[in-house]
């Protein structure tokens, strides 16, 4: 009996088991007493060490197997007797010990499994374990309205099958990180679960209706950074239970089905849309002059339009530099009376930097160098404000630009508007039409009314009109916005 594990391999296996168990006990005690979450510690404690102990066990069993085979080859009798001997006190003591240890083992494995599960579901695990790869999504998530919503609520959702799928996909990701085969930026399409099963766990479509007023102040690219403000009343949706459903969330009211085909991975080119309305009627819209894929081609995906087709950046919001600068100017973090600050700031933020440290250095010094060259007077008299402005720009950079992953607003379009990328105008550009010539609306008042617009940094001070005022574009472009898409000019390399 004893000779069964008298083999060097058994010694190796046994020592691994003992060492692993002691380390596990120590780290588990640490995990109980620690007040902060550390994804690395959790990973080692609840995955690494159990795996190590398991390895030791396997080695131990292999050693026994080798001994058994060797004994049999020598012609010795090997048999495993399993007899309960209630009269033998030594036997009984060992039996109870064995049973006790087994229960302890089962509970530990269960507990470890549970803690391991918890560890891989935590925001820290998803966002920080593979620090470089997930940094852009982690940082933007922390700055978003969903900062307190865990990654898994949107990326996995409820139910066991998606849990298993995500862990299997996780193995692929571990491989990609280990062998550095991932793209910089990460490449889509990112197949999220239908929004019905994730977003709608918290946001119930029937209950978000009404209007939303947004105000924004923009600063021009001229010497004075002239402010210009807009008050917008967005018609998100009417009360669906009492009135005719309409408004922006009309697409989502459960009886309406909108389906579309996109011809690119980012889903920016949409030549075909089909709508099945509440009354059962069907509308089929296509873009004239564009290639329409065959509907029966198995490679063609007819997608159900859902929350994610507009809100594709609910959590990872990579701000346009111009938007971030506008907010910083409106709040005073950037002194809007520094001449040409808007233009200079945009140039600095849009430059290509090899890494974050270089960016910090060059932005920090760059603004001062700019003023020393263009306006030495300002550079000497307002050095403090220039320094503070440079610091504010570094902060904007840190929240929105991730040079190591080559990820920023240029890699991640936002579909919930129509300025910097086509967004709503992928379908609502006024050219998409059905057989009778009806188009999907492009009327400026169908989604929002502009309550007020004009010069000045205070939107509240604008003269407003509830029936809406006509849009006028700031600067010198005149009426060009009437004949071109906003995104034609607001190409993302300009940053506004
Ligand atoms: C409120 C829901 C939500 C939360 C919370 C959330 N995500 Fe996302 N995530 C999304 C959506 C939506 C997309 C974009 C899918 C698309 O473009 O098709 C996305 C995309 C991503 C991508 C692909 C790259 C990109 O920027 O599009 C990664 C990686 C990612 N998320 C990681 C995370 C991590 C890590 C966390 C937690 C720190 C997290 N997500 C939390 C909704 C969420
Ligand atoms: C675990 C619950 C939860 C889930 C899941 C969730 N959200 Fe939210 N969402 C919230 C909360 C809470 C807020 C309000 C945050 C606030 O006002 O600060 C919010 C706010 C929003 C807003 C308004 C943001 C703004 O700028 O005011 C949008 C849009 C939104 N969610 C869309 C989504 C989409 C799309 C998904 C699915 C990808 C999603 N949410 C998933 C809880 C959730
Ligand atoms: C012909 C090109 C062109 C078209 C078309 C155009 N824009 Fe612009 N837009 C500009 C330029 C150039 C600026 C910067 C002007 C300045 O600051 O002096 C600008 C600035 C803006 C700003 C201020 C941006 C900021 O962050 O400071 C807003 C808002 C804006 N445009 C909205 C729109 C909308 C909405 C549309 C479509 C209805 C549109 N634009 C169409 C060229 C265009
Ligand atoms: C047709 C595009 C579109 C679709 C589809 C869509 N939304 Fe929206 N939603 C918008 C726009 C535009 C706004 C207003 C701007 C904003 O708050 O981002 C908005 C606003 C919201 C808000 C904020 C409301 C407020 O009062 O602040 C929430 C929450 C929201 N949507 C959730 C969802 C959810 C969940 C779904 C899917 C069931 C969904 N949306 C589908 C375009 C859409
Ligand atoms: C995939 C194509 C597509 C995209 C993208 C899209 N829509 Fe629509 N939208 C439609 C279709 C189709 C209709 C219905 C036309 C019809 O009934 O014939 C519609 C109707 C509407 C209506 C009118 C609802 C009513 O009162 O009858 C509004 C408002 C609207 N969309 C807003 C938006 C906004 C805002 C966005 C961007 C955030 C957007 N849509 C993006 C396809 C789209
Ligand atoms: C299909 C719906 C839809 C139509 C049609 C539409 N808009 Fe918009 N518009 C939006 C949405 C959605 C936003 C983004 C609101 C937000 O996120 O705060 C927006 C934002 C804006 C803004 C604020 C600046 C910005 O880009 O954030 C201006 C200005 C604007 N629209 C002007 C126009 C003009 C001019 C037209 C007519 C050519 C027009 N819109 C047609 C849906 C629409």
Tell me the pLDDT of the chain averaged across its residues: 89
Q: Which ligand is nearest to the CA of 139?
A: 1
Residue with tokens 């929240």, as numbered in its chain? 399
For residues 412 and 185, give the distance between their C-alpha atoms in angstroms, rounded to a whole number.
9
Closest residue CA from atom 6 of ligand 4: 307
Q: Do 446 and 227 meet the contact criterion of CB atoms below 8 Å apart?
A: no
Of 32 and 484, more confident: 484
The 10s digit of each residue's pLDDT in 449-480 is 999 999 999 999 999 998 999 999 998 899 99
- Give the C-alpha separation, 157 to 139, whole Å: 21
Ligand 6 touching residue 428 (CB < 6 A) = yes
d(CA 480, CA 460): 28
Q: What tokens were used for 332?
A: 């005073």
Atom of ligand 4 nearest to the CA of 314: 18
pLDDT value of position 309: 94
Q: Give burial (CB, 10 Å; 0-12/13-18/19+) of 221.
A: middle
How far apart, in whole angstroms, are the C-alpha atoms of residue 366 and residue 353?
A: 13
Check pLDDT > 70 for residue 82: no
pLDDT band at 250; cut points 50, 70, 90: confident
Q: What's the gap in Å between 491 CA and the centre of ligand 1?
A: 24
Query: Which atom of ligand 4 lies at the shortest distance from residue 199's CA?
Result: 35
Ligand 2 pocket check for 155: Cβ under 6 Å = no
Task: Please give the Cα distance from 417 to 312 (Å, whole number).
Answer: 11
User: Quick one: pLDDT at residue 40?
Assistant: 76
CA dihedral 444→252→169→129, nearest 10 degrees, is 60
- Ligand 2 near 314 CB (within 6 A): yes
Q: What is the mean pLDDT of residues 204-210?
A: 73
How far, in Å, from the CA of 448 to the mean position of ligand 6? 7
Q: Establish whether residue 447 lines the binding site of ligand 6, counting it when its CB lies within 6 angstroms of any ligand atom.
A: yes
d(Cα 198, Cα 166) in Å, to the nearest integer? 14
Which tens digit of pLDDT belongs to each residue from 372-383? 999 999 999 999
pLDDT at 442 over 80: yes
Share of the chain above pLDDT 70, in %: 96
Expressed in angstroms, the distance from the first to the final Cα of the chain is 79
Q: What is the pLDDT of residue 401?
A: 97
Task: Look at residues 143, 36, 16, 65 and name the one whose alpha carbon lies nearest to residue 400.
Answer: 143
Give residues with Cβ within 8 angstroms of 447, minimum separation 6: 234, 235, 248, 424, 428
| Residue 95, both tokens | 């039996």
Q: 188 pLDDT exceeds 80? A: no
Per residue in 330-351, pLDDT (tens digit) is 999 999 999 999 999 999 999 9
Most informative mutation of 249, 312, 426 for ligand 4 (most atoms within 8 A of CB): 249
Q: Which residues contact 464 (CB under 8 A, 6 or more apart)?
A: 231, 451, 452
Share of residues in the chain with pLDDT > 90 (%) = 56
Mean pLDDT is lowest, of 21-30, 74-83, 418-427, for 74-83
446 Cβ closer than 6 Å to some ligand 5 atom: yes
Integer Cα distance of 47 and 27 in angstroms: 12
Cα gap 272→284, rounded to integer Å: 8
Q: Which residue has the tokens 């220039």?
A: 386
Atom of ligand 3 nearest to the CA of 220: 17
The pLDDT value recorded for residue 314 is 95
> How far away, in angstroms, is 495 Cα from ligand 3 center?
11
- pLDDT of 2 above 70: no
| Ligand 6 mean position, distance from CA 417 (Å) | 6
For 117-141, write each residue's pLDDT tens digit. Answer: 888 888 888 888 888 899 999 999 9
User: Which residue has the least CA distance to atom 41 on ligand 6?
Assistant: 444
Question: Distance, CA 451 to ligand 4 centroid (Å)?
Answer: 20
- Sign of the alpha-carbon dihedral angle for 35, 41, 42, 45: negative
């Amino acid at each position: 009996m004893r000779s069964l594990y008298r083999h060097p391999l058994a010694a190796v296996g046994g020592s691994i088991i003992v060492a692993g168990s002691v380390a596990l006990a120590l780290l588990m005690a640490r995990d109980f007493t620690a007040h902060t979450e550390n994804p690395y510690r959790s990973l080692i404690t609840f995955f690494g060490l159990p795996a190590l102990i398991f390895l030791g066990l396997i080695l131990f069993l292999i050693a026994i197997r080798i001994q058994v085979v060797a004994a049999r080859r020598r012609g010795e009798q090997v048999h495993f007797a399993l007899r309960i001997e209630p009269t033998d006190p030594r036997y009984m003591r060992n039996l109870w010990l064995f049973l006790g240890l087994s229960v302890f083992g089962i509970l530990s494995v269960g507990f470890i499994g549970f803690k391991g599960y918890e560890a891989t579901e935590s925001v820290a695990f998803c966002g920080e374990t593979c620090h470089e790869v997930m940094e852009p999504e982690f940082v933007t998530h922390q700055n978003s309205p969903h900062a307190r919503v865990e990654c898994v609520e949107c990326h996995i959702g409820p139910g066991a099958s998606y849990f298993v799928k995500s862990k299997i996909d996780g193995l692929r990701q571990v491989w990609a990180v280990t062998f550095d085969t991932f793209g910089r930026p990460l490449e889509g399409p990112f197949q999220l679960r239908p929004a019905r099963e994730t977003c709608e766990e918290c946001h119930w479509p029937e209950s978000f209706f009404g209007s939303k007023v947004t105000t924004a102040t923009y600063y021009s690219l001229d010497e004075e950074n002239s402010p210009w403000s807009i008050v917008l009343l967005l018609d998100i949706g009417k009360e669906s239970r009492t009135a005719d459903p309409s408004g922006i969330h009309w697409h989502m009211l459960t009886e309406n089905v909108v389906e579309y085909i996109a011809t690119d991975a980012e889903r920016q080119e949409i030549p075909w849309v089909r709508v099945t309305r509440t009354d059962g009627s069907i509308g089929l819209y296509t873009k004239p002059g564009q290639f329409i894929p065959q509907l029966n081609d198995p490679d063609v995906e007819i997608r159900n339009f859902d929350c994610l087709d507009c809100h594709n950046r609910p959590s990872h919001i990579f701000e346009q530099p111009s938007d971030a600068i506008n907010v910083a100017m409106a709040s005073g973090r950037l002194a809007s009376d520094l001449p040409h600050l808007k233009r200079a700031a945009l140039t600095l933020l849009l430059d290509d930097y090899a890494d974050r440290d270089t960016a910090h250095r060059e932005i920090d010094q760059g603004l001062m160098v700019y003023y020393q060259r263009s306006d030495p007077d300002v550079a000497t008299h307002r050095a403090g404000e220039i320094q503070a402005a440079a610091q504010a720009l570094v902060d904007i950079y840190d929240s929105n630009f991730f040079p190591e992953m080559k990820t920023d607003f240029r890699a991640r379009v936002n579909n919930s508007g129509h300025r910097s990328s086509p967004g709503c105008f992928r379908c609502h550009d006024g050219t998409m039409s059905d057989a009778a010539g009806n188009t999907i609306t492009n009327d400026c008042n169908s989604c929002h009314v502009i309550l007020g617009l004009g010069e000045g940094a205070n939107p509240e001070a604008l003269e407003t009109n509830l029936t809406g005022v006509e849009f006028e574009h700031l600067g010198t472009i005149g009426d060009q916005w009437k004949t071109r898409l906003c995104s034609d000019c607001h190409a993302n390399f300009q940053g506004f």
